[in-house]
A and B are shown apart, each in its own frame.
Chain A
């Protein structure tokens, strides 16, 4: 922990150092213990792709991949993730080449306002990695942590169904690279 004292000697700020890899880039950061992973991304690093919807883990707009697993970034504090590897929606594409899940969302018009989309994308990639959902009913159940207030669910489902095979291949490739 490091803290600074103001001129009257009162401790004003306490931060903790963390090392975290975000979208493949290692970062050394100082964080307040109460800074959520979501606020770290949006306010401290400027990665505003990850969205704040409810801020209570109910809507899924803030979904990111923590060490490959989908989580709600609003319900965890950044200080706990020293040494972690994080992928946000900004890390899905390779340069100008969209991730298969992103390309399918565009193709199927799987959004209206787009606010839930970054969370839907990360969640769908995380779900594919879990490998537990196959049928349409299972996909709906396994995506129930991501709300879309525009009601684009049918197109979201179509996009995910189309993109899952290519996403699986990409996940296998990425795994190969990291080894």
Chain B
């Protein structure tokens, strides 16, 4: 790790005012410190935000929940309100990382974790995300874990989070605070596709601090599934993951959500395709159509062509599981 200075503010405004372009906020640190050890990130100052008052889960006026950015992944997944009312989120979180990591990793930090693309993580290779303009060896290299949707000439990396796939399906809102005040960002607009700026994972402005994530009242607690396909059964990143949520009336779809992980630079959702299923019977034909719509235009590379068919089957299976209950 490079030498750096350390600050420990106790207030949100104080933390934001301490930020400089060479600073990073730190809370759980499980990804940031790893990136620093690998010489991918080298901040001059770490701003320890763990003393900020962002550790609560509170009910919102409209019947949802507001999750403080410092709530740990374990505490969130095992919070009685989350387990009971937002099982999709609980299951998504518990599908990721290890118990030790979930005990340290925070809600805000999970949103901001960086891709595990081998080339991004190897400072001795070119990488447009790490060093803009240097090239992307993944396109013609080892790309089993890489994107099939939304990638660009510049970058084919995927977002690694499971929690975020659940949050995308639930239509969460990210609340951030910067020097210019507070902003609310729809979850779909928080992460971004790589385009010509693969170095930007999300739409945060410099120095903006994630303070909370809000869940709407609609929680899909009766019909939901988180299905994660990976090379080993536990403690591995997704090849493909699916957050599926349904509202059913008899056997008829009243509302459906599907978000995909492991396939793109951000959780992948197409609300317009979901809307086409409303009023249809909840069967494999309908689920297959939604899968086709979600994967329209998918392009794989040398090692990850299999992900396209894998994703299609995983979507149909996850939705079929969700018909049965909270899986």
Contact = CB atoms under 8 A, between A and B. Distances in A.
The judgment on whether A and B are partners is: yes
The interface residues of chain A, by DSSP majority, are classed as mixed
Given A56-B34, A141-B234, A145-B235, A1 B5 contact: yes
A130 interface: yes
A80 B1 contact: no
Given A33-B46, A76-B33, A142 B99 contact: yes
B5 A57 contact: no
Contacts of B50: 80
A30 to B, nearest CB: 13
A132 interface: yes
B33 A79 contact: no
B37 interface: yes
Contact of A55 (B37, B74, B104): B37
A145 B99 contact: yes
B99 A70 contact: yes
A4 interface: no
Interface string A70-81: 111001110110
Interface string B77-103: 010000000000000000001111101
B78 A132 contact: yes
A80 B104 contact: no
Interface string A47-60: 00000000111001
B5 A145 contact: no
A1 B100 contact: no
Nearest to A132: B78
B9 interface: no
Interface string B141-168: 0000000000000000000000000000
A100 interface: no
Contact of A70 (B33, B46, B103): B103
B100 A56 contact: no
Interface in A51-95: 55-57, 60, 63, 66, 69-72, 75-77, 79-80, 82
B6 A16 contact: yes
A76 B34 CA distance: 9
A72 B46 contact: no
A71 B37 contact: no
Contacts of A69: 74, 103
B30 A75 contact: yes
Q: What size tier do the contact residues of chain A reach?
A: 20 to 34
Q: What size tier do the contact residues of chain B reach?
A: 20 to 34
B100 A144 contact: no
B29 A80 contact: yes
Nearest to A142: B99
B234 A144 contact: yes
Contacts of A82: 8
Nearest to A64: B100
A166 interface: no
B21 interface: no
Nearest to B34: A56
B250 interface: no
Contacts of B306: none
B60 to A, nearest CB: 27
Contacts of A80: 8, 26, 29, 48, 50
Interface string B6-42: 1010000000000000000010111001100110000
Interface string A131-143: 0100000001110
B100 A71 contact: yes
B100 A145 contact: yes
Given A16-B6, A72-B104, A141-B234, A57 B30 contact: yes
Given A56-B34, A144-B234, A145-B100, 10 more contacts: A1-B5, A1-B6, A33-B46, A34-B3, A60-B100, A70-B103, A71-B100, A76-B29, A130-B78, A141-B234
12 contacts: A1-B5, A16-B6, A34-B3, A36-B33, A75-B29, A77-B29, A77-B33, A79-B6, A126-B103, A130-B74, A145-B97, A145-B98
Interface of B: 1-6, 8, 26, 28-30, 33-34, 37-38, 46, 48, 50, 74, 78, 97-101, 103-104, 233-235
5 tightest CB-CB pairs across the interface, nearest first? Answer: A145-B98, A144-B234, A33-B6, A144-B235, A34-B1
Interface of A: 1, 14, 16, 32-34, 36, 55-57, 60, 63, 66, 69-72, 75-77, 79-80, 82, 123, 126-127, 130, 132, 140-142, 144-145
